[in-house]
Structures are given as C-alpha cells and as structure tokens.
Homo-oligomer: A and B are copies of this chain.
Amino acid sequence: MTYSYVTELYCPKCGSTYSTDEQINLCTCGSPLLVSYDYDSIKASLTKEELAKREPTLWRYHELLPVKNPENVISFGEGMTPLIEMKSLSEEYGISRVYMKDEGLIPTGSFKARGSAVGVSKAKELHIKEIAMPTNGNAGAAWSLYAAKAGIKSHIVMPLDAPLITRKEVEISGANLYLVDGVISDAGKIVARSVKENGWFDVSTLKEPYRIEGKKTMGFEIAEQFQWELPDVIVYPTGGGVGLIGIYKAFKELMDLGWVKKDKFPRLVATQAADCAPIVKAFEEGKTESEFWHHSKTAAFGINVPKALGDFLVLDAIYKTNGCAVAIDDETLLAEQKLIAQKEGAFICPEGAATFATVRILREKNWIKANETVVCLNTGMGIKYPETVEVNATFVDKETTISLAK
C-alpha cells in the first residue's frame, strides 16, 4: 500500500524540479515551488467509492498529499468541515444556492490548521527540528500547536495588531513569540534574517512548499461534498492567497484523475479589504503581479497582506477560471457579519463575512446569475475576533423579574 504518490517539487516559473526528501524553500529562481504526484497510479489505485468510506479528515486524500509515512502524520481530526446551505442568504441575495464552507470547525478555529497539519507532518518527515514564521496570527497559532505535538520548536513573529487570542495560542504551545509594531511583511523580513542566523527552517507562506497541499484539500472536499459536480462560483478571502491557489490546484488534479468534468472550473473570486487590495488593483489593471500596498489596514486582519509572494499564482487562477477580484470596506463586511449571525445563526470571522458581502455585490452587478451555485469560504470562527462585536447587555440584580410583556 502506497500512502502517498508524491513525486517531486517543480517550479511554476522556470520548470526546475527538486526532491521532496530534502529540506527546501524556494526555487533558485526565487519562485515558490509546487508539489506533483503520480496521477496515473492514483487513478489506478483509488476510487471515489473507496474514498467515501474513509474517516472525515483531510487525510482521506493521503495519496494526493506529500507525507510518505503515515507515522509522521500529526492530526487533530482536521478537515471535512461542514458545507452549509445558507437559505436565508440565498433569498437575501437572490441566488438559487449559497453555501458556506465553514473552516471554523477545525482545530485552532481557522483554516490555517490545514496548512499546518500537512506542513508540520512533512517537516517531521524531513527531520526538521526548529521552524520560524511571520503570521497575522492564525497561522502562527496553528503551526505552533501542531509543531508542539510533533516535538518541533517554533519561533513566531506577529504584528502587534494581530488578534490577541492568537498570542495566547502561540504562548501555551511553548513556542517563542515575538511581537513587532508593523505588518506581516515586516515580520517576514525579521524571520528571513533570523532563520539564517539560527539555522531554523523558514515556514513562511509559500517559502514552505507543503502548506498549499493542506490548503488544497478545501477544493477536494468541496468537490466531494457536491458529489463531484463543482459549483459555479467560489469566493475566497485573499491575503497570501494560498487557499485560492490550493483550491485551483485541487480542481486541476481532480480533472487529471477524471473525477470532475474537464476544464469546467468554478469561477474563482478573490475578496480583499478596501484598504489592502493589491490583488484587486492588479486584476483591475489586467496585470499578472501585484504591487506592495502601503499603509494597509482592515478589521479582517487575516487578509492584511500588502504583497503576497504567490500573487502571480492567485492572478493566474483568477484569469484562467474567468473569476474576478473584489475589495470590500470594513463597514460593509462588519455589517454582513452581523446580518449572517442574525439570519443564519453563524458567528463567522470578518474575512469570511467579506466573501458574503462580495457575493451580494456580484449578484447586484449580475456577475453572479440568479440560478448559480455559490460557495463562500468562511476561513475562521468569529470568536477569534471579539472586537468585531459591541455588547449592549442589560445589567440586572438577583431579585429582578424581566418584563417585556406588552
């Protein structure tokens, strides 16, 4: 029984290839690396029916993941998150079917768990002992906790403005936490210098090639949960954009396997914040790379990424699928977050709320048609962002009888 059919790393820019048995970051040309598999052998050995019987975690797709020995798998049961039909929102927006893929129901409460589950497991397989990364909070929390289970030491550099709860998660894992008064790009530069100094492995977004393999499982799950008939539109809150790149890669792989219809991609939509929208700007200008966004700022902190290393891959996925990119201001996304809690009972993160606000706008513009099926990625739990909710409670004493009767 072959657990993984991983073959090699390849560079999407220059075509160079590398072994998956070595500790490696970027291509010598500076590009992120992607992972390839022996799709013919997977096709010959795995069926959809076999898959349907497996445990409801992302490891059900182990043939299409890079970890070769199952003993290296570090798992807390992550994956196969619910796909929830949002009937009130469908009505509100005037669209046949609107779904939420709820990435809040995953260890550490954010989709970052997928990348860290696969990334840390592969790091363990490669005998990596110490890792470092910049983070807007959730990735640092996920990586440091998974690393703790793997016996790997973590060094996490985080902006001061990142969600406070993620500091607690990093701290309790036993990792070293560093806070910087800046944005994730500043944290990234500190990490880049520090890994050299200390001999740590850099697991920054896309400098580490396996995180994307964990993220792509969102695409596999969406396909499987829709019985291998892909939806029309998928909306993704885009910071580093790894999830969007991963979902696109997942669908290409499923097409290679013949499990979904060839070349009928869902239109991929990147949602960004109005005050941090480098991908949206590049898309609107028809460019293939983005420019650094100065003085970025948003309540949806996870997508406060002024310049993504994989911007060219995100834009490529958008163009190839006839997708688009949309910027949402904070007031709009926070209003949508509240509406979703009250209409659908889901307290989602501001990044997730921004994708629903995007759907509303794209329907108004008729870019999304009334009879289409749309999936929004809610990338985390609302409870990680307590500051997005203002409480108006009534203080009562023990002898009170509440009386609202007319």
Contacts and interface: CB of A to CB of B under 8 A. Distances in A.
B180 A398 contact: yes
A34 to B, nearest CB: 27
B382 A182 contact: no
Copies in the assembly, this chain: 2
Given A173-B345, A403-B194, A386 B109 contact: no
Contacts of A44: none
Given A164-B386, A171-B389, A389-B172, A198 B403 contact: yes
Nearest to A340: B172
Interface string A190-201: 100110011100
Contacts of A57: 82
Contact of A109 (B77, B164, B383): B383
Interface string A134-148: 000000000001111
A149 interface: yes
A371 interface: no
Counting chain B CB atoms within 10 Å of each CB, which of A81, A167, A173, A383 scores highest? A383
Contacts of A104: 107
A396 interface: yes
A347 B145 contact: yes
B405 A199 contact: yes
A173 B342 contact: yes
26 contacts: A52-B53, A56-B56, A56-B80, A76-B105, A76-B345, A108-B347, A109-B383, A148-B345, A155-B402, A165-B386, A168-B389, A169-B347, A169-B383, A171-B389, A171-B390, A171-B393, A172-B342, A172-B389, A174-B341, A177-B391, A178-B400, A190-B401, A194-B402, A197-B405, A198-B402, A383-B384
Interface of A: 52-53, 56-57, 74-77, 80-84, 102, 104-109, 132, 145-150, 155, 157, 164-165, 167-169, 171-174, 176-182, 186, 189-190, 193-194, 197-199, 337-338, 341-347, 381-384, 386, 389-398, 400-405
